[in-house]
Amino acid sequence: MRFHRLDLNLLVALDVLIEERSVSVAARRLFLSQSAASAALNRLREYFDDDLLALSGRQMILTAKAEELREPVREALLLIQTKITTPAIFDPATADRKFSIIASDYAFNVLLADAFRKAIEIAPGLSFDWYPTDRLATERLERGECDLYLTLDTHMLDGHPRRPLWQDEHAVICWSGSKHRNSLSDAAFRTAPHVVVYFGSERFPAFTETLFNQMGIDRHIQMRLPNFSALPQAIIGTDFLATMYRRHAEYFASFLPLTIHQPPFALPNIVEELQWHRSRENDHGLQWLINLFSEQAAGLRCAFASDSDSSESLHQEQ
């Protein structure tokens, strides 16, 4: 379709080219050959009478015109997505939609796996794309490239709606045959070999690692893994320790030989929240899914409140 001589399909290509600043990377994201992506860029250059992407040394940089177009193009695509291509009415029984969600494997194991199953039971035409958390997650939400972002409240973006789902606390896990199985002192924690999580190829540290660094808690790091789900298998048969959130630790301890300890020092609780782009407030399908996730998380909220009450009672007795 053309509008004022501009092929509107080229706006999608322009948006990705501006973001990636690479024809080859943009081609992969657009599922095009590199020659087709180059042809799209040439047509855009001809229409706007501007290079848009210019070679500087060995890298491509945005021209002033491309910088000027960046936000208007993204806003136009978001408007088309939310106001034109998204159905105004959502009927779970007949809906045919795909939702994309960014979340950690912790959130997947604790909530999303069950929530996805529940959603598909009610709305069998739904499908889901789950993407792991990385350092570009907030940018993808800001650009409207994901439907929902599930992460810690400290990582939420300003200017977009959000909803708290559940709280959790930290726990330390060890193999049930480990020398740490009966107790865990502060000294033992600091001297034991640890397995930790760093996300993605960028080695983006998990919140727990950032927290320990801020608190000045030194440990012997024996192994770095890309997600929390790999921690339990990595410590079985060893004296290694790993720190993860309690709900996740309990999930794995239900079928693996693990012992769960309270950390030997105070650590703050975490809050998991759900966030979506402000332009999606009137998306009835997305709001239905948000409510379903919140209902599924109710059990986690109740369990945390019960555990907190038990811990407080024990503290008072002591």
Each residue's pLDDT tens digit, 241-273: 999 999 999 999 999 999 999 999 999 999 999
- Judged on CB neighbours under 10 Å (0-12, 13-18, 19+), 7 is middle
In the block, tokens 């657009």 appear at: 30
| DSSP SS3 for 249 | helix
Pick the CATH number of 2-85 from 1.10.10.10, 1.10.3720.10, 3.40.309.10, 3.40.50.300: 1.10.10.10
Alpha-carbon distance 21 to 251, whole Å? 42
- Name beta bridge partners: 199: 204
Give the pLDDT band (50/70/90) at residue 6.
Answer: low
pLDDT category of residue 151 using cuts at 50, 70 and 90: very high
Q: What is the pTM of this model?
A: 0.74
Q: What are phi and psi of 4, to 5 degrees?
A: 55, 50
% pLDDT > 70, the chain = 90
First to last CA, the chain: 73
Give the C-alpha separation, 123 to 225, whole Å: 36
Q: Could you give the CA distance from residue 137 to residue 151 in angstroms, rounded to a whole number?
A: 10
Residues of the chain with CATH 3.40.190.10: 98-158+279-317, 170-261
Extract the runs of DSSP E, i.e. beta strands, from 42-124.
Answer: 53-56, 59-62, 98-103
Cα–Cα distance for residue pair 244/59, rounded to 1 Å? 40
Compute the distance between CA of residue 223 and CA of residue 209 in angstroms, rounded to an integer. Answer: 13
CATH number of 170-261: 3.40.190.10
Indicate whether 25 pLDDT > 50. Answer: yes
Mean pLDDT of the chain: 87
Residue in 19, 65, 70 with CA at minimum distance from that of residue 45: 65
Q: Kindly state the average pLDDT of the residues 291-310.
A: 77
φ, ψ of residue 58 in degrees (nearest 5): -105, 10
Which segments of the chain belong to CATH 1.10.10.10? Answer: 2-85
- Joined together, the tokens standing for residue 273 give 């929240």
Q: Which residues, including other chains, have CB under 8 Å from residue 109's CB and lie 6 or more apart? A: 229, 248, 251
Q: Which CATH architecture has domain 98-158+279-317?
A: 3-Layer(aba) Sandwich (3.40)
pLDDT digit string (tens) for 192-212? 999 999 987 778 889 999 999
Q: Assess whether pLDDT exceeds 90 at residue 66.
A: no
Q: Quick one: tokens of 131? A: 């993407």
pLDDT score for 81 = 65
**pLDDT band for position 304 (cuts 50, 70, 90):** low
CA nearest to 99, candidates 119, 73, 80: 119
